[in-house]
Amino acid sequence: MRMRRWMSWISLVVAISFVLAGCGGGSEGASGDGGPVTITLGGAFSSPAEKKIVEKQVAAFEKENPDIKVKLHSITDDYLREMQTLIAAKDEPDVFYLDSMPAPQFMKMGVLEPLDEYIKKNNVDLSAYETSLVEAFQWEGKTYGIPKDYSTLALFYNKKMFEEAGVKPPKTWDELRNVAKKLTKGNQKGLALHASLDRYQPFLVQNGGQVVDKQGNPTLNHPANAEALQFITDLFIKDKVADTPANLGVEWNGDAFAEEKVAMVFEGAWMIPFLKEKAPDLEYGMAELPVKEKKNSNLAFTVAYVMSKNSEHKEEAFKLLQFLTSEKGQQYVVDGGLAMPSLKSMGEKFLDKYPEREAFVKAVEYAEPYQYGEKGNERVDAFNKAAESAILKKKPAKEALDEAQKQLK
């Protein structure tokens, strides 16, 4: 019968495939005695350009250390989820990326190898790195990671629109409001801003507020926070000079800026390669964030290299970690021109090369890392919801924040 022939074909395919499967897979871990040691390096590469930087760094490292081989493990989906899975199976890379936000949990849970001993032994000078970045990876007196790079926020402004309106980049909150008013006309808004703590925090802190107090308790409804949030909300509701990307019909602030729907956004250095691709002809400038009175504040988004506690080759792993964060390693970060290098000395080199990015480097001196303790994610969620209801539902900022604070309990 025809049916049988069909089925036998399928069986044949299955049989062949299994033979292939046998050959294809499982050819791993050929590091016998005496041979080179293999270190796995795990990361979430946010662009082909970033991956290229790491590949170049690794190549340089391998050249210097012929007895150490580095295998890249690129994680493309939800990084946190995959990392937890790998850690649960004790399959995690020896050295891997860790973002500042989930870092407290990782440090507390004893997943990471404390680096203090290695730092001492290999004479790494932590004070050569931007302080706020290093602090993000310290927990109860121990250091667990060395920051690889960072970005702060800057004010991106559309030069043409500013010229037409005859205004200069705003330096204070009042100027921000006035400039935004002048830049709003027709379908064009002054400012695109999404309702989220990762943009609002600098304003809260400038106003004397805080998200988490010194004891690590959340203080979302701090009066100064409410005042700052109200100021931002008013830009949306009262003055109608700001809007969310969603309302502008775009994915994110970057799109709104690239499509010239707004004159200003607060974004990080990731905007630069984005704009180059998306709006190559757009003329724009970058300035430091406007300040309320005198107190500067900014956010530092940073990622560190950390070492797994389960690594079987810790000495070699640290060698790699040290190289990646050394001047030699960070030269590739400078050349790549994506994020800013974490070493102060390299930051200067970076500025020589990209003087227009001064605003980002200046801000790191007074920036706080994007990190809110072990329950960071929950706190950010709660704040964002408060901000959303203040803007979308026109709820008074204080009320919204009180509610958010209550939810955290």
Partner 1 sequence: MNAQPTTVGTKPAARRRRSGLFSDPLMGYLFTLPVIVSLSVFLIGPIIYAFFLSFQSFTFLDPEGAQFVGLDNYLKLFEDERFHRALFNTSIYSLGVIPVQVSIALVLALIVNSKIKGKTFFRVAYFLPTVTSTVAVSVMFLFLFKKDGLLNHFLGWFGIPARSWFDDVTFALPSIMVMAVWSTVGQFMVIYLAGLQDIPDDLYEAAQIDGANRWQQFWYITLPMLKPTTFFIVVMSIIGTFQVFDQMYVISGGDGGPLDATLTVVLYLYNKAFKDFEMGYASAIAFFLFCVILILTLIQRKFFGEEMRM
Partner 2 sequence: MKRLLVRVLFYTIVIGYAVITVGPFLWSLFTAFKMTPDINTLWVPLDRLTLANFENIVLSDEYPFARWFWNSLIVAAIVTAGNVIFNSMAGYALARINFPGRRVLFLIVLAVMMVPGQVILVPMYMLLSELDWINTYAGLTVPFLTQGFGIFLMRQFFLSIPRDLEEAGFLDGLSRWGVFWRIVLPLSKPALAAQTIFMFMGNWNSFMWPNLLTTSEEMYTLPVGLNSLYGEYDAFWNHVLAGAMFMTIPVIIVFIIFQRHFIKGLATTGLK
Question: Which positions touch partner 2 (CB under 8 A)?
Answer: 1-4, 7, 10-11, 13-14, 17-18, 20-21, 24-26, 28, 44-48, 50-51, 71, 73-74, 76-77, 81-82, 84-86, 88-91, 250-252, 254-255, 259, 274, 277-280
Least distance from C-beta 53 to partner 2, angstroms?
Answer: 13
Which of partner 1, partner 2, none does residue 30 bind to, with CB < 5 to 8 Å depending on kind? none
Among 2, 214, 393, 409, binds partner 1 (CB under 8 A): 393
State the DSSP string of 277-310.
HH-TT--EEEEPPPBSSS---EEEEEEEEEEBTT
Partners of 369 in the β-ladder: 300
Least distance from C-beta 380 to partner 2, angstroms?
Answer: 19
Least distance from C-beta 49 to partner 2, angstroms?
Answer: 9
CA dihedral 63, 69, 71, 72 (to 10 degrees): -30
State the DSSP string of 26-93.
-------SSS-EEEEEEE--SSHHHHHHHHHHHHHHHHH-TTEEEEEEE--S-HHHHHHHHHHTT---
Partners of 95 in the β-ladder: 41, 307
Distance between CA 233 and CA 240 in Å, rounded? 9
10 binds partner 1 (CB under 8 A): no
Q: Which of 248, 272, 229 is nearest to 190 (CA)?
A: 248
Which of partner 2, partner 1, none does residue 381 bind to, with CB < 5 to 8 Å depending on kind? partner 1
**Window contacting partner 1 (CB under 8 A); options: 85-93, 203-211, 280-288, 312-320:** 85-93
Q: Return phi, psi of residue 138, to 5°.
A: -115, 140
Count of residues interacting with partner 1 (CB under 8 A): 31
Sheet with strand 189-192: strands edge to edge: 242-243, 189-192, 262-267, 154-158, 284-287
Which of partner 1, partner 2, none does residue 13 bind to, with CB < 5 to 8 Å depending on kind? partner 2
Distance of CA 217 to CAs 104, 378, 408, Å?
Answer: 14, 12, 10
Q: Tell me if 157 sits within 8 A of 169, measured CB to CB.
A: yes
Least distance from C-beta 14 to partner 1, angstroms?
Answer: 12
Q: Tell me if 267 sits within 8 A of 301, measured CB to CB.
A: no
402 binds partner 1 (CB under 8 A): no
| Strand 189-192 with 262-267, pairing | parallel
408 binds partner 1 (CB under 8 A): no
Contacts of 107 (CB under 8 A, 6+ apart): 137, 138, 139, 142, 144
Least distance from C-beta 388 to partner 1, angstroms?
Answer: 5
246 binds partner 1 (CB under 8 A): yes
**Window contacting partner 1 (CB under 8 A); options: 117-125, 153-161, 281-289, 379-387:** 379-387
188 binds partner 1 (CB under 8 A): no
Partners of 74 in the β-ladder: 43
248 binds partner 1 (CB under 8 A): yes
Question: In the complex with partner 2, which residue's Cβ is closer, 83 or 397?
Answer: 83
Which of partner 2, partner 1, none does residue 184 bind to, with CB < 5 to 8 Å depending on kind? none
Contacting positions for partner 1 (CB under 8 A):
78, 80-81, 84-85, 87-88, 102, 105-106, 109-111, 244, 246-251, 375, 377-378, 381, 384-385, 388-389, 392-393, 407
